Amino acid sequence: MSRESERLFADATRVIPGGVNSPVRSWRAVGGHPAFIARGEGPWIHDADGRRYLDFVASWGPLVLGHAPAVVVEAVTRQVGLGTSFGAPTALEVELATLLVEALPSVEQVRLVSSGTEATMSAMRLARAATGRKRVLKFVGCYHGHVDALLVRAGSGALTLGVPDSPGVPAEIADLTVLADYNDVDGTRAAIRAHAADLAAVIVEPVAGNMGVVPPAPGFLEMLREETARIDSLLVFDEVITGFRLGWSGAQGRFGIRPDLTCLGKIVGGGMPLAAFGGRRDLMSMIAPAGPVYQAGTLSGNPVSVAAGLAVLRTLRADDGAYDRLERLGGLAEHVLREALASAGVPGTVNRVGSMFTLFFGVESVRSYADAVRADTDRFARWFRNMLEEGMYLPPSQFEALFVSLAHEESHLAELGRAAARALARL
Ligand code: PMP
């Protein structure tokens, strides 16, 4: 890593734990110190040393239009001039909520919050209140933010850093979390039935993104829908990554499943801090002040964030070809990475759903968490560093998703393929 990023990282570690404001930004899993980013445009980011990279992190998913798209810059600039926060309702929030309700048939009412963690935390509280039950079931390797009860065998940074259970989460709270294996249809059905009397909710990433991308097995999501309905428990889709990425109606539209509650984040905020949870009207009307379940936020529905989110969602809605294009670009990325693996004779595989994908090293197929953790993380680390030298900015972990955006062009994916081949040849 070059001089300015090194200097900034040294300064950062003095005043910020680990030098980063979120652990996934650390390069501990791949070695070296993170590049500090100065700016982005379209599919590119530039670091503090003036190096330019093709970006496949996309701020971990939000940037479906790429960096600094004109529609977002204009909307945010305009709103900043009008005031950044009022702590009172605005017309923009009504428009965003209406748009979310229109896009997602399972969502009849929605509450805006500021982060994905807040969305899942609030959804769990609501599920417990609505059912009068305590336990929630989550899947090993799925990440739903750093909510106490959900930070149990979690994915993403918790997986990368090998601290699946965090100190500070009381055992009594972790005890309320039931674990099951993603895509294990029979085992999960048995776990749901075993806890039928006290299970408030099953929360799932409908396409797992935080153990690397793992698509749902045929029948898996359908089984979750059936079994939760059978015991009057709630099915909560965490669509923080997949919402507005895998289609206008998210993963639930793509797979034809109607969850009771949905958590959104990332794309809905257009790159600003904004997230949401919503679902059935009878459930959402329990939220304060309509009902007794307390949930609040000084900056919830922040007008600048809402303006950014609306700009992105309006753009996606107006572009009939957006999701076909994301699918095509994702398919191309998968193709060039597979070709690169084959030509270098490096064992591995590529999992992809739409515009999210992961190249796993040293494994033939990845259908579960157990498969994912068999991946060769040392080889990934070397590839990551080689790719950086090739001008490709990837997530600094084997267990994350890469994203393409509408700012990527076919030529950029051809570049990805050539860079990948060279980086693999040098492993
Ligand atoms: N759910 C999923 C599926 C996520 O990927 C993330 C973050 N990567 C979260 C929830 C938490 O969102 P946030 O980081 O905004 O709290």
pLDDT in tens, 79-91: 999 999 999 999 9
Q: What is the pLDDT of residue 129?
A: 98
Q: Is the dihedral of CA 63, 328, 253, 182 positive or negative?
A: negative
Which band of pLDDT confidence, cut at 50, 70 and 90, is reported for residue 167? confident
Q: Is this prediction's pTM over 0.75?
A: yes
Which residue's alpha carbon is nearest to atom 7 within ligand 1? 145
Domains in the chain, start-ordered, CATH in brackets? 3-68+321-425 (3.90.1150.10), 70-318 (3.40.640.10)
Model pLDDT, residue 165: 65
Residues 6+ apart with CB under 8 A from 189: 223, 227
DSSP secondary structure of 56-85: SSGGGTT-TT-BS-HHHHHHHHHHHHH-S-
Take residue 202 and report the two structure tokens written for it: 């099953």
Residues 6+ apart with CB under 8 A from 386: 422, 423, 424, 426, 427
Beta strands 261-264 and 234-238 are: parallel
Q: For 275-304, write each residue's pLDDT tens digit.
A: 999 999 999 999 999 999 999 999 999 999
Exposure string for 180-192, b = 16+ CB within 10 A, e = fewer: bbbbbbeebbebb
Residue 266 annotated to the active site: yes
Active-site residue 134, yes or no? no
CB of 262 closer than 6 angstroms to any ligand 1 atom: no
Average pLDDT over residues 86-98: 98
Catalytic residue among 53, 143, 369, 393: 143
Give the model confidence (pLDDT) of 8-22 as tens digits: 999 999 999 999 999
Average pLDDT of span 402-424: 98
Q: 3-class DSSP state for residue 364?
A: coil
What distance in angstroms lies between residue 315's CA and the mean position of ligand 1's atoms? 23
**Distance from residue 174's CA to the centre of ligand 1 (Å):** 19
pLDDT at 98 over 50: yes
pLDDT range class, residue 396, cuts 50, 70, 90 = very high
**Among the atoms of ligand 1, which is closest to the Cα of residue 265?**
15
Q: Which residue among 21, 112, 241, 264 is best mutated to probe the pocket of ligand 1, counting the most ligand atoms within 8 A of its Cβ?
A: 241
Give every CB contact of residue 150 below 8 A, 6+ residues apart in sequence.
Answer: 120, 121, 124, 136, 138, 143, 144, 177, 203
Predicted pLDDT of residue 152:
83
Q: Which residues of 88-119 are buried (b: 16+ CB within 10 A; e: fewer)?
A: eebebbebbbebbbebbebbebbbbbbbbbbb
Is ligand 1 within 6 A of the CB of residue 93? no
- What is the pLDDT, as a whole number, of residue 163? 46
| Test site for ligand 1: of 114, 144, 403, most ligand atoms within 8 A of the Cβ | 144
Q: How far is the CA of 339 from the centre of ligand 1 (A)?
A: 31
| Sole residue written with tokens 């950014």 | 308
Residue type at 22 in one-letter notation: S
Report the separation in Å between the CA atom of 347 and the middle of ligand 1, taken as the mean of its atom positions: 30
Lowest-pLDDT range, 126-140, 145-159, 232-246, 259-273? Answer: 145-159
Instruction: With CA atoms as reference, report the closest residue to 217 among 208, 229, 230, 227.
Output: 208
Q: What is the structure's pLDDT at 160?
A: 64
* Catalytic residue status for 143: yes
Burial (CB count within 10 angstroms: exposed 0-12, middle 13-18, buried 19+), residue 129 = middle
Whole-number Å distance, alpha carbon 320 to ligand 1 midpoint, is: 28
Give pLDDT, residue 161: 56
Would the pLDDT of 99 be above 80?
yes
Q: Which of 28-37, 129-138, 170-179 has the lowest mean pLDDT?
A: 170-179
Q: Name the pLDDT band for 136 (thresholds 50, 70, 90).
A: very high
